[in-house]
Amino acid sequence: MADAPAGSWVPGADGSGFGIENLPYGVVRHRGGRPVPAIRIGAFALDLAAVASAGLLPIPGLEPGVFAEPALNAFLGLGPRIWSDTRRRLQALLAKGSSELDPIAVPALLPLEEVRTVLPVNIGNYVDGYASIEHATNVGRLFRPEGDPLTPNWRHVPIAYHGRARTVVPSGTPVRRPWGQRPPAQPGAAPSFEPERRLDFELELGFVTAAGPSLGEPIPVRRAAEHIFGVVLVNDWSAREIQRWESQPLGPYLGKSFATSISPWIVPLEALAPVRVPGVPQRPEPLPYLRLEDPWALDIDLEATITPEASGVATRVTRTNSRGLYWSAPQQLAHATSGGATIGPGDLFASGTISGTEAGSYGCLLERSRAGREPIPLDDGGSRTFLEDGDTVTIRGYGEAARISLGELTGRVAPAGTWSGFHE
Whether 156 is a known active-site residue: answer no
d(CA 203, CA 351): 9
Report whether 230 contacts 22 (CB < 8 A): no
User: Of 30, 135, 156, 335, which one is the catalytic site residue?
Assistant: 135
Annotated catalytic residues are 135
